[in-house]
Structure 1
């Protein structure tokens, strides 16, 4: 496993210097939880899917999987010493200062940086999340003195909120608004500052500790349900792998490096292929018919299902969406959008599959 830190050479490009950083359990070594892994990968390929809500038992590897995914991703080009991880070329992913420098023809130093995985603590305040404006400095010096928050740090990365169902509803609203728009706006005393905040939002929680309000749950692109592994042989395999990694991480990481590199290349290729993916008109009509028959409010379910099906086709190297992709992602995209009936015991994912079979003639 190669560990690097970022440095900037005189020509503005980065050079890699070997360094030590904390070993992270490899994504490709994680056993089971296929639904969660697929939902995360599809959101990395197309962040506009809108994030993932992971609900399930405690101790099922939610945090481990998300950290492993962030570590797997290739390094990205960022503007050196920029608090927003600004992209050196994409205007939608750069802060105002960097954009002004580029408009003026100034040389912008660029470095390579690992994709950020920002953990949002449960007791975080709105100022800590969004950032604060120093009014005194702004008035006395005439500059927009801004102290960036966690949303700035998460730009072009992953923002992980554990126990999101216990987070204040207003804060969840702020996170979802930023994730959807790709921008964070802070306003105070007539001063307004805006910066890019394009990130993959991942929330997790235990349903025993309370559900997220339906209005907020609907705004997560996908919903993955995970359960404790029941099969004894698989449980033993998980325990043995974790023990082997904890005792001596380096040989374990080296063993999985070929699989890690293969998956990393697969993700990069899928991101490049995504724009070319086509989805037949008849399939789009059937997706909307399925959403209609499930009585899904609004059109967010239709949009996310189309996006996720395209991302899955891109991940698997195809250029056209088939019925199989739609079948695999439909429960992930729609189960959390169904109206809850307290008297009904049927699993929402099973209900989606049943309607899918009827609409697509799979019965």
Structure 2
């Protein structure tokens, strides 16, 4: 399948960063993207999965049955060969990859609970008749939704580690750049992909390096103070936000090759963690930045620093 390059996507910088942080530290629990249709959310997620090459990308349909999601017993094998064989579901297929759900707010509450529990625990039990089998399922859960079509229950919303708000860009230069890049890709995909291949490799190397470097990043005592103050100020419930804000800041530091978290790392990622949990402030501004598209001259993608 020909996939639009992740590094060629402009106007989605915060969504791209949130996804990248979850790739560096899967313990962040996934990303929820709220906003308009037609803003490239699915293209962005597919681009990331292709960037990291070997990781699975599983698109879970809203109407998927429980058996398709969780798995079941192969009845034909059981009846004809008198042996038990499990047909893995979409959750198991997403192991070590990305599980993507568009219009996630329309998914049944039961399946949503199962998905979030699996995302948090790294797997789930497949219960069928006398069978109880543990299925490994460590994945990055990415959900997209338009709040105008219904909201998630607050307790489910809280289970998403990070969230971003996406709206249609209004900056003229940015809209023109998005269209120009898409037309170029549709006209000659091979040429367009080759143009961004070096940038794709650089970013992939940076993410892999950050994954390996993550455990070495130290957390200064001052950072705990900063994180705690933010969470108290935003009046969040429970301790999940404190923990996730610290993890997101650590992943951001690792992404930039830092061996310690700086206060700047906390402030860069705070909206990802607090925007859907805060009782104090209004939602953050759209992740579609009202600025010129990132890139070097002639619309080329901005170079990323490898570590």
Same structural fold, with TM-score higher than 0.5 when normalized by the shorter chain: yes
User: Structure 2 length as normaliser, TM-score?
Assistant: 0.89
Aligned equivalent of 2:282: 347
Aligned equivalent of 2:5: 26
* Pair 1:209-2:149 in alignment: yes
Matches within 5 A, 1:224-235: 224-235=164-175
Distance 1:338 1:117 in 2: 31
Q: Secondary structure at the match of 1:229?
A: coil
Distance 1:167 1:212 in 2: 9
User: Structure 1 length as normaliser, TM-score?
Assistant: 0.75
Distance 2:77 2:183 in 1: 52
* Pair 1:37-2:21 in alignment: no
Deviation at residue 289 of structure 1 after TM alignment: 2.6
Q: Secondary structure at the match of 2:276?
A: helix
Distance 1:139 1:33 in 2: 51
* Pair 1:65-2:44 in alignment: yes
Asked if structure 1 preserves the Cα contact closer than 8 Å seen for 2:226 and 2:263, the reply is: no
Aligned equivalent of 1:271: 211
Asked if structure 2 preserves the Cα contact closer than 8 Å seen for 1:144 and 1:193, the reply is: no
Distance 1:173 1:322 in 2: 35
Deviations 1:260-286 (A, max 9, x none): 111011011101100100111121132
Measured on the aligned residues, the alpha-carbon RMSD in Å equals: 1.8
Show structure 2 runs of 5+ residues with no match: 286-307
Structure number with the bigger relative contact order (C-alpha 8 A, sep ≥ 6) is: 2
Relative to structure 1, is the Cα distance of residues 251 and 140 closer, same or farther in structure 2, using a 3 angstrom cutoff?
A: closer
Task: Provide runs of 4+ in structure 1 moved above 4 Å.
Answer: 134-143
Q: Which segment is superposed worse, 201-210 or 186-195?
A: 186-195
> Radius of gyration: which is bigger?
1
Deviation at residue 349 of structure 1 after TM alignment: 3.1
Asked if structure 2 preserves the Cα contact closer than 8 Å seen for 1:135 and 1:189, the reply is: no
Matches within 5 A, 1:157-176: 157-176=97-116
* Pair 1:46-2:25 in alignment: yes
Show structure 1 runs of 5+ residues with no match: 1-21, 75-113, 341-345, 351-363
Deviation at residue 348 of structure 1 after TM alignment: 3.1
* Pair 1:311-2:251 in alignment: yes
Aligned equivalent of 1:153: 93
* Pair 1:326-2:261 in alignment: no
Distance 2:189 2:76 in 1: 49
1:285 paired residue among 225, 228, 247: 225
* Pair 1:123-2:63 in alignment: yes
